């Protein structure tokens, strides 16, 4: 019995071991199959294993996938320690029912050494598959400073700024706009002349003109077509025009009540014999016209006809009652009519072209602001005020040799005095001058540096006195000076002069009181001078001056051997 139990136990153990072995083999086979499948779907390569600093080499990743597979290639600015210069679009090639996706990258490194393109994750259907890693050697660029011929530093060469012709285009457009304005003026004048000749109607007296206009009004049949308001407007305008021309009463600018009162006064002063009843009927028609024009009243047809007859009767009665000779009537009417018409046409000839030209120039101004920017307009037309300079982004730069570092709202422009440059003292190696603005601007800066050929030391008191003399030569009047030592928390030392002077604008001859500071610094082998000038009453300019002073730093001069 015991032997049988041992035998059965042995058979059971062997069977379990056999199953375990088979299961282990199955797992290994599945793993190998899966690995084999994934390794075949992704391949990667590089076109070079050795480059120079900054040179580019290419990494290529290929994915063989089904049309329904979703593939995401790696992206980023750095692959390990290597910088990605470019990432090209994915190329697709169709192969026997599958797609081959090809992704290329341009990589580089700007330090020499040995680097590795690390394994990168390619996502296929949300499963990450890693690419191969590749070693890459980045070689330094060898510069032979022994065999290569060396040259001295070349002197500064003045380079002319490229010519810009924007001003020429602007001038041409202004001339074209003026020509268009003149052409428009000539066209309007010619048209007015033809219109005057065509519409010229000679009247012997104002009453004939009024009666003719009333006849033309009836021919229009305005109220018959429902335009009652327009009819009464023209009716009253004709009447007012006659009264203004015949009786010399400002009828066109007066209300109906004011016109009636002024007419009563004129009739009394000029001894015009007109009945009170006629005046009252005229007043009633004017009141009816006001109701039609402003209260939207709608009179009946017979009422409109009665008003028209009343106006005819009033005009005829008034004209007969005016005491004047026939010659006076003709001269007065012709002169007044011609004067008013000429004035109106002259205004049209002048204002229409002027308005057109101003609109065109306004459009050009907006175009320049949009295309060139407000900075362009300030630099070339408007100029900078101190507040705008203070709020703009400042520029910190080194100027001259030995260099002085200073922050300014605008870059200081170098200016070269040919006379000075050609006659430098024997011990002076070079000079440099930089500036922004002028003595008459809200704010200006002048910066000068000098470098010596030897260890000459600058006499600060003499340099300060010489700068003040130059300030006077440049137009500074009533110069008030206070001198002192200059020292700031950064350890910068020198001499300074400060005070006020009066500047005279050479164009407008206007005077302005200016505040100034002149600073001089010295070090072995060189020196620097700084002028700061602004208007005394400009708080923003004074703030600019303080900010510039706080930014000053000196670069240590390199001694000449």
Residue in 448, 449, 440, 397 with CA at minimum distance from that of residue 533: 440
Token representation of residue 114 = 């040995």
pLDDT in tens, 443-461: 788 888 888 777 767 778 8
Those residues whose C-beta lies under 8 Å from the C-beta of residue 114, and which sit 6 or more positions away, are: 135, 136, 137, 138
Pairing mode of beta strands 127-130, 553-554? unpaired
pLDDT at 34: 44
**What percent of the chain is predicted at pLDDT more than 90?**
9
Q: Is position 272 within any domain?
A: yes
Q: Is position 470 within any domain?
A: yes
Q: What's the DSSP call for residue 434?
A: E
**What percent of the chain is predicted at pLDDT more than 70?**
76
pLDDT at 184: 82
Residues 197 and 278 in one domain: no
Q: How far apart are CA 380 and CA 385, in angstroms?
A: 13
Number of structural domains, the chain? Answer: 4
Return the top range by mean pLDDT from 117-121, 182-186, 213-217.
117-121
Picking from 115-129, 194-208, 242-256, 475-489, which range would have the lowest pLDDT averaged per residue?
A: 194-208
Residues 252 and 360 in one domain: no
Q: What is the mean pLDDT of residues 158-179?
A: 70
Beta partners for 512?
503
pLDDT at 39: 39
| pLDDT classification of 105: cutoffs 50, 70, 90 | very high
pLDDT at 138: 92
Residues 535 and 415 in one domain: yes
Return the top range by mean pLDDT from 7-16, 404-413, 434-443.
404-413
Q: Is position 442 within any domain?
A: yes
pLDDT at 326: 58
Picking from 164-168, 333-337, 482-486, which range would have the lowest pLDDT averaged per residue?
A: 333-337
Q: What is the mean pLDDT of residues 547-559?
A: 73
Q: How far apart are CA 500 and CA 477, in angstroms?
A: 9
Beta partners for 340?
none
What's the chain's average pLDDT?
77
Q: What is the mean pLDDT of residues 285-291?
A: 88
Residues 109 and 194 in one domain: no
The answer to whether residue 546 scores a pLDDT higher than 80 is yes
Domain of 542, CATH number, reads 3.40.1000
The residue among 380, 404, 429 that closes a domain is 380
Q: What's the DSSP call for residue 224?
A: G
Q: Is position 153 within any domain?
A: no
pLDDT at 116: 92
Q: How far apart are CA 101 and CA 239, in angstroms?
A: 92
Token representation of residue 117 = 């393109």
Token representation of residue 193 = 């002349």
Containing domain of residue 348, as a range? Answer: 173-202+341-380
Q: How far apart are CA 123 and CA 129, in angstroms?
A: 6
pLDDT at 162: 60
Cβ–Cβ < 8 Å for 298, 304:
no
Residues 367 and 402 in one domain: no
The answer to whether residue 204 scores a pLDDT higher than 70 is no
Residue in 429, 433, 386 with CA at minimum distance from that of residue 560: 429
| pLDDT classification of 84: cutoffs 50, 70, 90 | very high
Picking from 41-50, 188-197, 504-513, which range would have the lowest pLDDT averaged per residue?
A: 188-197
Q: How far apart are CA 421 and CA 90, in angstroms?
A: 61
Q: How far apart are CA 361 and CA 373, in angstroms?
A: 17
Beta partners for 503?
512
Angle, vertex CA 434, rays to CA 387 and CA 427, nearest 5: 155
Cβ atoms within 10 A of the Cβ of 465, count? 15
Cβ atoms within 10 A of the Cβ of 543, count? 16
| pLDDT classification of 429: cutoffs 50, 70, 90 | confident
The answer to whether residue 388 scores a pLDDT higher than 50 is yes
Q: How far apart are CA 281 and CA 272, in angstroms?
A: 17
Report the helix count and the strand count for the chain, using DSSP H and E: 13, 22
Residues 353 and 409 in one domain: no
Token representation of residue 204 = 């012997």
Cβ–Cβ < 8 Å for 411, 357:
no
pLDDT at 38: 42
Token representation of residue 228 = 């009652």
Residues 407 and 511 in one domain: yes
pLDDT at 409: 82
Q: What's the DSSP call for residue 459?
A: -
Q: Is position 268 within any domain?
A: yes
Residues 240 and 352 in one domain: no
pLDDT at 271: 81
Q: What is the mean pLDDT of residues 215-244?
A: 87
Residue in 407, 472, 400 with CA at minimum distance from that of residue 429: 400
The answer to whether residue 527 scores a pLDDT higher than 60 is yes
Residues 399 and 468 in one domain: yes
| pLDDT classification of 1: cutoffs 50, 70, 90 | very low
pLDDT in tens, 305-357: 888 888 888 888 888 888 766 555 555 555 566 667 777 777 877 888 888 88
C-beta contacts of 230-239 below 8 A and 24+ residues apart: 231/304, 232/288, 232/289, 232/292, 232/293, 232/307, 233/289, 233/293, 235/289, 235/307, 235/308, 235/311, 236/286, 236/289, 238/210, 238/213, 238/214, 238/311, 239/210, 239/311, 239/314, 239/315
- Is the bond leading into 402 cis (omega within 30 degrees of zero)? yes
Q: Is position 154 within any domain?
A: no
φ and ψ of 397, to 5 deg = -150, 160
Residues 179 and 213 in one domain: no
Return the top range by mean pLDDT from 281-290, 367-376, 499-508.
281-290
Q: Is position 482 within any domain?
A: yes
Cα Rg for the chain, rounded, in angstroms?
A: 49
The answer to whether residue 202 scores a pLDDT higher than 60 is no
Q: What is the mean pLDDT of residues 9-21?
A: 53
Residues 502 and 421 in one domain: yes
What are the distances in angstroms from CA 134 to CA 43, 86, 115, 116? 12, 18, 9, 6
| Secondary structure (3-state) at 137 | strand
Residues 530 and 548 in one domain: yes
The residue among 93, 119, 139 that closes a domain is 139
Cβ–Cβ < 8 Å for 307, 235:
yes
With the CA atoms of 434, 438, 444 and 446 taken in that order, what torsion angle do they form, in degrees rounded to the nearest 10? 30
Q: Is position 561 within any domain?
A: no
């Amino acid at each position: 019995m015991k032997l049988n139990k041992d035998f059965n136990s042995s058979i059971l153990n062997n069977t379990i071991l056999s199953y375990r072995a088979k299961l282990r083999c199955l797992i290994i086979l599945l793993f190998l199959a899966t690995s084999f499948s994934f390794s075949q779907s992704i391949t990667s390569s590089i076109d070079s294993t050795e480059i120079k600093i900054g040179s580019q080499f290419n990494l290529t990743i290929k994915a063989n996938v089904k049309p329904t597979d979703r593939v995401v290639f790696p992206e980023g600015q750095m692959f390990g320690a290597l910088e990605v210069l470019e990432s090209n679009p994915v190329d697709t090639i169709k192969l026997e029912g599958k797609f081959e996706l090809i992704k290329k990258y341009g990589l580089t490194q700007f330090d020499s050494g040995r680097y590795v393109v690390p394994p990168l994750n390619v996502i296929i259907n949300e499963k990450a598959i890693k690419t191969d890693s590749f070693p890459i050697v980045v070689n330094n660029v060898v510069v032979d400073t022994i065999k290569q011929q060396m040259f001295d530093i070349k002197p500064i060469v003045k380079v002319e700024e490229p010519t810009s012709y924007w001003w020429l285009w602007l001038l041409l457009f202004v001339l074209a706009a003026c020509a268009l304005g003149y052409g428009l003026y000539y066209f309007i004048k010619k048209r007015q002349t033809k219109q005057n000749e065509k519409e010229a109607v000679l009247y012997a007296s104002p009453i004939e003109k009024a009666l003719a206009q009333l006849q033309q009004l009836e021919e229009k049949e305005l109220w018959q077509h429902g335009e009652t308001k327009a009819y009464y407007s023209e009716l009253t305008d004709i009447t007012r025009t006659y009264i203004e021309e015949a009786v010399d009463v400002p009828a066109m600018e007066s209300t109906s009540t004011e016109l009636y009162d002024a007419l009563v006064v004129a009739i009394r002063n000029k001894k015009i014999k007109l009945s009170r009843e006629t005046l009252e009927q005229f007043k009633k028609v004017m009141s009816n016209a006001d109701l039609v024009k402003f209260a939207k009243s709608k009179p009946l047809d017979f009422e409109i006809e009665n008003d028209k007859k009343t106006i005819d009767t009033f005009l005829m009665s008034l004209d007969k009652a005016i005491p004047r000779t026939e010659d006076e009537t003709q001269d007065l009417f012709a002169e007044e009519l011609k004067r008013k018409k000429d004035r109106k046409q002259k205004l049209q000839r002048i204002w229409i072209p002027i308005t057109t030209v101003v609109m065109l120039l306004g459009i050009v101004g907006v175009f320049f602001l949009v295309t060139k920017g407000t900075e362009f307009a300030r630099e070339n037309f408007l100029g900078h005020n101190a507040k705008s300079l203070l709020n703009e982004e400042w520029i910190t730069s080194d100027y001259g040799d030995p260099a002085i570092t200073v922050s300014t709202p605008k870059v200081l422009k170098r200016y070269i005095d040919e006379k000075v440059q050609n006659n430098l003292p024997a011990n002076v190696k070079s000079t440099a001058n930089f500036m922004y603005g002028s003595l008459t601007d809200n704010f200006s800066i002048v910066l000068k540096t000098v470098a010596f050929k030897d260890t000459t030391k600058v006499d600060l008191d003499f340099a300060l006195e010489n700068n003040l003399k130059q300030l006077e030569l440049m137009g500074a009047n009533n110069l008030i000076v206070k001198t002192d030592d200059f020292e700031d928390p950064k350890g910068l030392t020198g001499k300074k002069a400060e005070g006020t002077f009066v500047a005279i604008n050479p164009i407008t001859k206007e005077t302005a009181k200016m505040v100034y500071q002149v600073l001089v610094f010295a070090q072995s082998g060189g020196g620097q001078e700084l002028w700061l000038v602004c208007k005394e009453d400009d708080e923003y300019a004074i703030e600019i001056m303080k900010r510039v002073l706080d930014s000053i730093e000196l670069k240590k001069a390199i001694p000449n051997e």
